[in-house]
Amino acid sequence: MYDLLLAKEKRIAVIGLGYVGLPIALEFAKKFSVIGFDINADRVEKMRQGVDPSREITPEDFQEKDIFFTSNADDLLQAHFFVVAVPTPVDSYKVPDLKPLQKASELVGRALKEGDYVIFESTVYPGCTEDDCLPLLEEHSGLKVGQHFKIGYSPERINPGDKNRALPDILKIVSGSDAEALEEIAAVYGSIITAGIYKAPTIKVAEAAKVIENTQRDLNISLMNELAIIFDRMGIDTQEVIKAAGTKWNFLKFYPGLVGGHCIGVDPYYLLHKSKQLGYDPQVINSGRRVNDTMPAFVAKKLVQMLIQKNKSPQSVRVLVMGITFKENVADIRNSKVADLVKELMQYSVHVHIVDPHASPNEVAHEYNLTLVDSPSNRYDAVIVAVAHDEYRDLGSEYFKAICQPDAILMDLKGLYPEQNQHLMYWRL
């Protein structure tokens, strides 16, 4: 397969052109002939014009690439090496929503031919590729894995907003349905990944490795969040505690914060779901999720308490929230815990303004029924800096004085402005 792809006698298709699929498709297109497929025709049209809807990739990155963008499923019949990179969200009950993955599997199944390969990159629970996706591939193709086609799993490791670790710079885990599949898949990915390839012994191992990467980080942050709640009651600055503890060589510097996004805030639920299916209710993972999911309510309650201490009624104040994307320097607002924070404040009848230089006002309105203002006004009673966008890092005390009441509160959730307490009532996680 690798040699035929390299000779461009066969083509690669990437299904799902979001923050994971598009970088992979463009990187493959440097060496291979690629079909970039997405069901969203508007997104496809933007990519044809060299525009990344997620605003992670520059127009220059689209140039001189052998790639054809399409939303027509019939075009997938021209491909022989399929990479599935569709979203794997959870529903409102925190249960894995496999519909995008199932639909993609059916789509690929209808395009499968003898000798083809299918590799999944979407984050799932161990066993999902073989137990949930493979039967759909076989059903819709009429072919059998091992006899007619091969499958594999290679978990995505893209870090949105990270300009220092591009796709080729991140070591790639690969796995295959048999020894031959593993070698071919490793060769294809190895041609674009300069950081190296790790060959997992089974597909389930590769799936599990991905889901625990984010579960581990989730748990570490949940510990720091719980400590922040405890230290706040003690009147101790958590950031200073971390700084002091970090002087020991084996202390890991994790920080408290709002845990959103589609990795850390979602992936652990996939492992929880599979574990419960097997009859085990995980205690530690559940606990970490509960702590992190309650942080928006904790921050909102803390602000209301501080306002009341200043004899200000929550119903009569104005609060500015700076940043609503799920992390710094990205446009992605999915699963943003800042949105949860805003809604918690609204439960107290607080009047909230939201600004964000990266977020799309239309997307925020559609996703959360919230409105972004073009720019801050003035005389705010409190400002919450929720996301550490580069645009916010160098703001000085004069900036906050200009937009705030004289006795306003600055809640610095990212610890960006420790010197601000000389002008405003300062609080940080």
CATH code assigned at 323: 3.40.50.720
Where among 181, 204, 227 does a domain terminate?
204
Secondary structure of 9-28 in HEC code, one letter for each residue: CCCEEEECCCCCHHHHHHHH
Task: Supply the pLDDT for residue 85.
Answer: 97
Q: Is 207:155 a contact under the CB 8 Å cutoff?
A: yes
Instruction: Tell me whether residue 355 is in a domain.
Output: yes
Active-site residue flag, 263: yes
Task: Supply the pLDDT for residue 141.
Answer: 97
**231 and 194 inside one domain:** no
**32 and 130 inside one domain:** yes
Instruction: Tell me whether residue 271 is in a domain.
Output: yes
Instruction: Tell me whether residue 210 is in a domain.
Output: no
Instruction: Tell me whether residue 209 is in a domain.
Output: no
Q: For residue 256, give the amino acid letter.
A: P
pTM: predicted TM-score of the whole model, two decimal places: 0.92
**175 and 222 inside one domain:** no
**104 and 127 inside one domain:** yes
**95 and 236 inside one domain:** no
**279 and 235 inside one domain:** yes
Q: Is 182:152 a contact under the CB 8 Å cutoff?
A: yes
Structural domain count, the chain? 2
Instruction: Tell me whether residue 61 is in a domain.
Output: yes
Which structural domain, as residue segments, surrounds residue 139? 2-204
d(CA 281, CA 90): 18
Where among 174, 204, 234 does a domain terminate?
204
What are residue 76's phi and psi, to 5 degrees?
-70, -15
**275 and 173 inside one domain:** no
**185 and 267 inside one domain:** no
**271 and 155 inside one domain:** no
Per-residue pLDDT tens digits of the chain, which is 429 residues long: 999 999 999 999 999 999 899 999 999 999 999 999 999 999 999 999 999 988 889 999 999 999 999 999 999 999 999 999 999 999 988 999 999 999 999 999 999 999 999 999 999 999 999 999 999 999 999 999 999 999 999 999 988 877 788 899 999 999 999 999 999 999 999 999 999 999 999 999 999 999 999 999 999 999 999 999 999 999 999 999 999 999 999 999 999 999 987 788 899 999 999 999 999 999 999 999 999 999 999 999 999 999 999 999 999 999 999 999 999 999 999 899 999 999 999 999 999 999 999 999 999 999 999 999 999 998 999 999 999 999 999 998 889 999 999 889 999 999 998 865 567 899 999
Task: Supply the pLDDT for residue 69.
Answer: 97
Short-list 153, 72, 166, 69, CA closest to 110: 72
Where among 204, 227, 248 does a domain terminate?
204
Question: 313 vs 303, 310, 349, 388, CA distance in Å?
Answer: 11, 9, 10, 29
Instruction: Tell me whether residue 212 is in a domain.
Output: no
Instruction: Tell me whether residue 336 is in a domain.
Output: yes
Select which of 128, 133, 263, 404 is catalytic. Answer: 263
**277 and 404 inside one domain:** yes
Q: Is 394:381 a contact under the CB 8 Å cutoff?
A: no
Bridge partners, residue 355, by sequence: 322
Task: Supply the pLDDT for residue 344.
Answer: 98
**165 and 275 inside one domain:** no
Task: Supply the pLDDT for residue 319.
Answer: 98
**196 and 276 inside one domain:** no
Instruction: Tell me whether residue 96 is in a domain.
Output: yes
Residues with Cβ within 8 Å of 126's Cβ and at least 6 positions away in sequence, in order, are 204, 205, 207, 208, 211, 274
Task: Supply the pLDDT for residue 158.
Answer: 86
